[in-house]
Amino acid sequence: MMMMMMMMMMMFDSTSTAAMSYRQLEDFINKWTLELEEQEAIFLEQATQVNAWDRLLIDNGDKVSTAVS
């Protein structure tokens, strides 16, 4: 997403009078949507892995506490 925003800023700087067409805007939004969906999938995979590690740490912490007492 950041790359698309940078590309857009390079195309249309604040001194430019060029207007973006509806089609260009739609293309940018579609690309951003796809990129966001990809990033969401990556995030969910990582969150699932972190959740599994957290559960493992809690379970092992409980076992340590039981063994020590």
H runs (alpha helix) in the chain: 2-11, 22-68
- Predicted confidence at residue 59, as pLDDT, reads 96
CA proximity to 11, closest of 20, 21, 23: 20
pLDDT tens digits, 17-48: 568 899 999 999 999 999 999 999 999 999 99
Confidence of residue 8 (pLDDT cuts 50, 70, 90): low
- Predicted confidence at residue 69, as pLDDT, reads 83
CA diameter of the chain: 74
Residue-level length of the chain:
69
Chain mean pLDDT for the chain = 86
Which amino acid does the sequence have at 35?
A: E
Nearest-angstrom CA–CA distance, 68 and 60 = 12
